Amino acid sequence: MPDEPIALTSQSMPTGVARIGGRTAPAARIDGVDDRVDADVAVVDTGIDASHPDLNVVGGINCSTSDPTAWLDANGHGTHVAGTIAAKDNTIGVVGVAPGARLWAVRILAADGTGLLSWYICGLDWIAAQRDPSDASRPLFEAVNMSVAKWGADDGACGAANADLLHAAICRLVESGVTVVAAAANDSGPASERVPAAYDEVITVSALADTDGKPGGLGGDRCWSWGGYDVDDTFADFSNYGPDVDLIAPGKCIWSTKPDNTYGWSSGTSMAAPHVTGAIALYKASRPGATPAEVKRALLYLGTTSWATATDPDSTHERALDVSRIGPMGSVAMSASPATVGVTDAGGSFPVTLTLSRATVLEELTLSVTGIPAGVTAGLDRTKLFGFEATQVTLTVAVPEDFPAGTYPLTVNASWHGTRATVIVPLVVGLPPSADSPAPTAMRPRWRSRRRPTRRACRSCTSRPVSATPTPCRAPRRRDSRADRSCS
């Protein structure tokens, strides 16, 4: 009787995806249902096996030969990287960081894993040329993974100073709005000696040895690769290091997709980088307008120090990738206390407390104030906010003495990724302040020796006839001498 193949029919979560918080990431929704992350990711590598049932491969380009359509994987490296980024949440095989995201194979390496500089540049320029079909002002790709490296250095000038064509191509790509992730490389040396890892324009990733998918260092040293064991939650002994590295992610004994509908283990910073690329896909799926710089700041903010940083070969201890709090972009609520600033003609400086609540969303908020009349100053003690918790900011409004009476609406704006929240704080001048108006923090003395208040106050009544019912005196309304009272 002939033998029969037997295969797994259930899905497993790789330790790397678990270690970075993928199990609980709201944007990933890992629950065994094939809900796919709405993002496009380019894998610059050896190609991808488009027939693998666990991968959502939608297209590609081949720069390694004269046939641009021959982008299928003849090596296995690119397919393994692709699975870590975006293997489907479909109850079979494995699940990636950004399940089901659209994968594009950009083949710049031959079957033996080597390539030419011209192939690199061909692939990067092709990526930069692809635009979002629904908005041509945006790039097609949310992220690019480059688990490749060559010897080189960062000249700090996008290759202009040292004739680095690869650097120039990556700068063009980043300027087009695409976030690029690079592996730190596997020389147990400085990442500054390898490119694209050394470039400031990319997010560079070192490798963490993790054996149990959890922080705490309790997983032991049961993972063998690169000629040895590494203790759980320590810096992988093969990984490059240094100040050019931005994040650390699991890169030792990573289980992922392989060609021909198979799965396998692999180790290296090549395996660490796609964890970060998947995180970018999660973040940008609902924030397509986020710039590469904003994406980088977000991931650094979310990162943790829950690993044995003392095992890092240098003093720059990068934060460990954590996607557990990445969710869809949400709204921001903003309120002001007091709601109105009432000012007498004595002027003064008045504080207003602004409270911003965004408990379910991570956004970088940019704050500004508009509608400030000429002569009044209104400043914020913070103009950038990052984080989840409700945050208080102080708006200080300074009004000069004898400022023209009237109501001036000050608008406080909080903007993020093309979205804005506002709160209007009316500045009322010339009326007694309300009970909840702030007391001025500073007031200049008033000198009235040249004025006659009584005469001035009743001047408007002197031409009126006297009647049995006295006419109440009212002070004349001040003229607004300013030429333009519109909001700025």
237 catalytically annotated: no
Half-sphere exposure of 437 (CA within 13 A, CB side): 21
CA-to-CA distance for 255 and 265, rounded, in angstroms? Answer: 5
Q: Comparing C-alpha atoms, which of 85, 6, 24, 448 is closest to residue 281?
A: 85
Other residues' Cβ atoms within 10 Å of the Cβ of residue 369: 19
* Residue type at 103 in one-letter notation: L
- Catalytic option among 45, 49, 210, 230: 45
Distances from the Cα of 222 to the Cαs of 215, 275, 311, in angstroms?
Answer: 16, 21, 18
State CA 19 to chain mean position distance: 20
CA-to-CA distance for 47 and 155, rounded, in angstroms? Answer: 30
- Catalytic option among 147, 192, 256, 270: 270
77 catalytically annotated: yes
Quick check: 24 and 126 in contact, CB under 8 A? no
Q: DSSP class of residue 159?
A: T
What tokens appear for 22 in the block?
């993928």
Other residues' Cβ atoms within 10 Å of the Cβ of residue 376: 18
- Catalytic option among 52, 54, 64, 77: 77
CA-to-CA distance for 148 and 47, rounded, in angstroms? Answer: 12
Residues identified as active-site: 45, 77, 270
